[in-house]
Amino acid sequence: MRTRWQRIKDSAFLYHFLRDPVAYVSFAILMVLTISAFAAPLIAPHNPYDPTTIDIMDAELPPAWTDEGSRTFVLGTDEMGRDMLSTMLYGMRISIIIGLGAVFLQAFLGIVIGLLSGYIRRLDNILMRIADVQLSFSTYMIAIFIGAIFQTAFGVANYEKIAAPLLILIIGLAEWPQYARTVRASVLAERKKEYVEAARVIGLSKLRIMGRHILPNTLSPVLVISTVQVANAIMSEAALSFLGLGMPLTKPSLGSLITAGFEYIFSGSWWITILPGILLVLLILVINLLGDWVRDYLNPKLYKG
Amino acid sequence: MFAFTVRRILQAIVVMLVISFIGFAIKHNFGDPVRELVGERVTPEERAQIRERLGLNDPFLVQYSRFLVDALHGDLGRSFFFKRPVTEVILSKAPATLELVFCASLIVILLSVPAGIHAAIYPRRLLSRFIMGSSIVGVSIPVFLTAIMLIYIFSVELGWLPSFGRGETVLLFGFWESGLLTKDGLLHLIMPSVALSSIMLPLFIRLVRSEMMEVLESEYVKFAWAKGLQPRRVWYVHAFKNTLLPVITVGGVQLGIMVAFTILTETVFQWQGMGSMFIESVSRADTALMVSYIVVVGAIFVVVNTMVDLIYGLVNPTVRVAGRQ
Amino acid sequence: MGKLLSIEHLNVDFAMRTETLRAVDNVSLAVHRGERLGLVGESGAGKSVLGFSIINLISKPGYIDSGRVVFQGQDISTYNDEQMRTIRGNRISMIFQDPMMTLNPVLTIGAQMKETLLAHASISDAEATAICLEKLRKVYISSPGKRLTQFPHEFSGGMRQRIVIAISLLTNPALIIADEPTTALDVTIQAEIMDLLLELCESDRMGLLLITHDLAVVSQVTQRIAVMYAGTIVELGPTGDIINRPQHPYTRGLLGALPQKAGDSRRLNQIPGVMPGLAKIPPGCPFNDRCNMAGDICHEKRPPLIVKQSGNQVACHMVD
């Protein structure tokens, strides 16, 4: 019964997905971007992490379609002589990994905290106050503060060495309240329902009720916000990198590439900063469009507009 | 209401205590007050003496309470880089940031309200689709990238606008360096405030639109139509007046969040405000200054949020009573 | 009695995401001058949609698919927005269900009353105020001058519904459409409001279309009753006939479910099942799956609404 219902729902989902060009085009672009990011070592024409292949004499070459462009470097080179296309692909891989990692951490923290505060009255007040305060400060601010504190604590050199896991930790710590609130709201809605009451009457333990009965029902709102949260996490990472609290230039993310190229736009080398910028915007935009579509799909009242 | 006010203020105090505690813990572990006071060229013996004199060997909690008392007197320590009390440094940087936030808020409010209303009233029109489409593109562009694009187009390529700094400023009341009163200062303000507003504008348009659409669905708006009122009266008097309250409360907090984005905007434009000061203090390991920024900005946020909550609590009963019982 | 309002073969559709649902299905109905007509049915039967479609104020995604609405001799269903505006609140007023939600919380009573007058006539502010005070007195609101400056939250539910009624009277309309005007109120206040409506309609000879699910309410106020089921009218006739000699099995079921009709110690007769959703209306007679008289023809042909032996119009194959 349940699987059949599931199948109908899935097919309706697919039906609407295929009828909305914004949805499937965004999805296709996202797929292309993700696959080429993770296949970077295979498809990138150069290896930006290998100093022996880089020649400083190639620095600041413009893209191939301009007058001074070179065939070897389709999108030009950056200030160190690295191939832009390869560096961007590798950079996007780092951005996506950090984004996904941070969202997993946020979701984990948020689900645990949301379940606890939705189910245990005594914890609710304090946990939700923390979430409120953190949200009122804006997650960006919190991420920047945590990043600043970490950098002070570890020193710049050490910070750069473990930047990727640190960034996941920072963004995860900064953005869990979104999840916690969503999960808590659906826990509060679920626990009023009869089956939870029934489970309690049979004498199932709280932990079991939470894990086996309530948790599965809170997952669909969690999935809905996850799409947009990945975009937010990638944005946060880029912002932190831009402020010098993120990935070092030797292992750049899209954000640190933009930063590094910034000073060169004054001398006319726009591609070092604008090209990774466009890629970053494209990546975030298609994720946001997909996220919007999913939300609208599950919220028919808004769909009609 | 009285109980609510007291509880809300107590909560604010608790939050401030937590922030100050975090701030102090950072300072205690990573700061070097001796360096802040006399620089780095002192002998180890002198250092030990100064440490003792400053009470740095006292128990943690004793030092924390001293930090609290000092902070309440407006003394948050000295900046090692500026060689001045941090309160002074922050106060001298605050006008730049506040003017930037003010101009950006102005842009956000002046553009988002008409755009949001239009998109709510005519959801199917081409212009509405364009507004909503560009708003999703808008939220997808990081604020520093907007800033960089603006600089590239208007400074590098066209050469119309200055790309960094505040330009010519005028000293007001003896402490406020204002860029609002000179043409040069205003020219310098344009790009930073546009960049800063770009992040909030899409959010506000969506906020105004969704609140307005919700109100347009309400019974009293339907009744207003049933009374045969002119569309303008229904939209701008009946619907918009009710949209205003949630927009102001949510929006008030959101505008406060813009302070977070001043860090990015100021860094791009080398705007001499609190945000760029903070990032510089991080890279210079100027711990006292960094911690004070966190504490000061934290205090601003807590005060703004508490006030918004209290105002909402004051205004809300009428709405709540009207809405239900 | 001439016809004040006549609805002819009206179809109202709702465009959902995957399908179009018919909420009002080929309804023809007339209200005569000064007549009080009750429109009765369960919630979801389409009676509110029908009421709102008269002044073309159906909530999205609903729209009038076909049919005519003739009011005072003119087909108002072809009116554009501005023409329709001059009808709404002017010659046809509406009273909504929940007075708590009907009045705008941020505007004073005075502002909400005067704007109605000013939208339909070019009169001075003082004249408008005078009319407002007169109508407030008419609905027995004490010290009306003070009331004009107050906000809705300063009034009780019953008071607010009186104010809504006063607003509906402002322009001396020819027809008032009252959509469940007492449902949201306390029982004691319900009777008060109904009496007031009856009194006002009688004294000013106004037409009233009273939409309700409450048969007891219509039986006291209206001269005729139309019973609606799943978007169609199944029975139409004088109030006394419908109440005392219901013909359609659905009407009988409705009356059987009323405590006072069931009498003595007998059980209340409930109609088995529930009214089908708009997407699941069966072919033939929409009531066939709940009807204990249904025969083969009921599953094949939709019964037309025609005059039967009793004199009532009934849409049923099984009633002679």
- Closest residue, chain A, to C62 (C-alpha): A304
- At B270-304, the pLDDT tens digits run 888 888 898 888 888 788 888 888 888 888 888 87
Name which of A266-275, B191-200, C131-140 the model is least confident about. Answer: A266-275
Q: CA gyration radius for chain A?
A: 23
Residue B288 near residue B79 (C-beta atoms within 8 A): yes
- The residue among A141, A264, A275 with the most chain B CBs within 10 A of its CB, best to mutate, is A141
Chains in touch with A (≥3 Cβ pairs < 8 A):
B, C
CA distance A153 to B36: 18
Which residues, 6+ apart, have CB-to-CB distance to C181 below 8 Å?
A: C95, C96, C97, C161, C165, C193, C194, C197, C210, C212
**May I ask the CATH architecture of the domain C3-222?**
3-Layer(aba) Sandwich (3.40)
Closest-CA distance of chain C to residue A18, Å: 14
CA distance A91 to A97: 10
Average pLDDT over residues B10-24: 85
- At B118-131, the pLDDT tens digits run 998 888 888 988 88
CA distance C246 to A276: 77
Closest-CA distance of chain C to residue B122, Å: 13
Which residues, 6+ apart, have CB-to-CB distance to B46 below 8 Å?
A: B38
Work out the widest C-alpha separation in chain A, in whole angstroms.
78
DSSP letter, residue C276: P
At residue A147, the 3 state secondary structure works out as helix
- Closest residue, chain C, to B243 (C-alpha): C106
Q: Is C105 on the interface with B (CB under 8 A)?
A: yes
Which residues, 6+ apart, have CB-to-CB distance to C240 below 8 Å?
A: none
Of A141, A242, A285, the CB nearest to B260: A141
- At B256-278, the pLDDT tens digits run 778 878 888 898 888 888 888 98
Residues from chain A that touch C60, judged by Cβ atoms under 8 A, are 304
**B interface with A, Cβ–Cβ below 8 Å:** 11, 15, 26, 29-30, 123-124, 136-137, 139-145, 148-149, 151-152, 156, 163, 213, 253, 256-257, 259-261, 263-264, 267-268, 278-279, 282-283, 285, 287, 290, 294, 297-298, 301, 305
CA distance A1 to B78: 70
Answer whether C94 sits within 8 Å of B319, measured CB to CB: no
| C-alpha closest to that of B202 among B122, B261, B267, B266 | B261
CA distance C2 to B308: 60
pLDDT of residue B304: 79
CA distance B158 to B169: 25
- At C189-212, the pLDDT tens digits run 888 888 888 888 888 889 999 999
At residue A265, the 3 state secondary structure works out as helix
Answer whether B163 sits within 8 Å of A266, measured CB to CB: yes
Average pLDDT over residues C123-141: 90
Of A153, A262, A273, the CB nearest to B30: A153
Residues from chain C that touch A16, judged by Cβ atoms under 8 A, are 17
Which residues, 6+ apart, have CB-to-CB distance to C63 below 8 Å?
A: C12, C13, C14, C15
DSSP letter, residue C46: S
- At C212-235, the pLDDT tens digits run 988 888 888 899 999 998 889 999
Residues from chain C that touch A303, judged by Cβ atoms under 8 A, are 17
**Which tops the pLDDT comparison, B251 or A39?**
A39
- Closest residue, chain B, to C108 (C-alpha): B238
Residues from chain C that touch B225, judged by Cβ atoms under 8 A, are 57, 88
pLDDT of residue A41: 82
Alpha-carbon distance values, C254 to C250, C268, C271 (Å): 6, 10, 7
Q: Is B124 on the interface with C (CB under 8 A)?
A: no
Q: Splitting chain A (305 residues) into consecutive groups of 10 residues, what average pLDDT does each group show?
A: 60 75 88 87 76 68 70 71 83 91 91 83 80 77 84 78 85 87 81 74 75 76 83 89 83 85 78 87 91 74 36
Pairing state between β C36-40 and C224-229: parallel
Average pLDDT over residues C166-174: 90
The angle formed by the CA atoms of residues A43, A47 and A49, to the nearest 5 degrees, is 140
Look at residue B245 and tell me whether its pLDDT is greater than 70. yes
Look at residue C264 and tell me whether its pLDDT is greater than 60. no
Residue A246 near residue A163 (C-beta atoms within 8 A): yes
Residue C56 near residue C2 (C-beta atoms within 8 A): no
- Token digits of residue A173: 């710590």
Answer whether A281 sits within 8 Å of B256, measured CB to CB: no
Answer whether A145 sits within 8 Å of B294, measured CB to CB: yes
Q: Is A305 on the interface with C (CB under 8 A)?
A: no
Look at residue B250 and tell me whether its pLDDT is greater than 80. no
CATH superfamily of domain region B95-324: MetI-like (1.10.3720.10)
Name which of A258-262, A293-297, B12-16, C49-53 the model is least confident about. Answer: A293-297
- The residue among C14, C16, C17 with the most chain A CBs within 10 A of its CB, best to mutate, is C17
CA distance A144 to A149: 9
**C interface with A, Cβ–Cβ below 8 Å:** 17, 60-61
Average pLDDT over residues B42-54: 74
Answer whether C153 sits within 8 Å of B231, measured CB to CB: no
pLDDT of residue A302: 38
What is the residue extent of each domain of chain C?
Answer: 3-222
Answer whether B26 sits within 8 Å of A244, measured CB to CB: no
Stated pTM of the model? 0.80
Of C88, C100, C151, the CB nearest to B226: C88
Look at residue B237 and tell me whether its pLDDT is greater than 70. yes
pLDDT of residue A11: 66
- At A215-253, the pLDDT tens digits run 777 777 787 788 888 998 998 889 888 888 888 878 888
Q: Is C12 on the interface with B (CB under 8 A)?
A: no
Residues from chain A that touch B28, judged by Cβ atoms under 8 A, are none
- List helix spans (H) across B74-218: 86-121, 126-140, 143-150, 183-216
| C-alpha closest to that of A113 among A254, A222, A35 | A222
Of C81, C85, C103, the CB nearest to B220: C103
Residues from chain B that touch C152, judged by Cβ atoms under 8 A, are 322
Alpha-carbon distance values, C72 to B176, B281, C75, C224 (Å): 71, 79, 9, 20
Residues from chain A that touch B147, judged by Cβ atoms under 8 A, are none
- Determine, yes or no, domain membership for A10: no
CA distance B212 to B214: 5
- Determine, yes or no, domain membership for A246: yes
Element (H, E) at A232: helix A215-242
Look at residue B320 and tell me whether its pLDDT is greater than 50. no
| C-alpha closest to that of B279 among B144, B118, B77 | B144
At residue B172, the 3 state secondary structure works out as strand
What's the half-sphere exposure (Cβ side, CA atoms, 13 Å) at C280?
6
Range of the domain at A127: 36-44+77-297
Residues from chain A that touch C17, judged by Cβ atoms under 8 A, are 16, 300, 303-304
Answer whether B148 sits within 8 Å of A277, measured CB to CB: yes
CATH number, domain containing residue A242: 1.10.3720.10
Burial class (CB in 10 A: 0-12, 13-18, 19+), C282: middle
- Determine, yes or no, domain membership for A17: no
**Which tops the pLDDT comparison, A215 or C108?**
C108
Closest-CA distance of chain C to residue A303, Å: 9
CA distance C170 to A81: 81
- Token digits of residue B72: 């309440």
**How many CB atoms sit inside 10 A of residue C315's CB?**
24
pLDDT of residue C262: 46
| C-alpha closest to that of C185 among C175, C193, C177 | C193
Q: How many domains does chain A have?
A: 1
Answer whether B142 sits within 8 Å of A239, measured CB to CB: yes
Averaged pLDDT score across all residues of chain C: 86
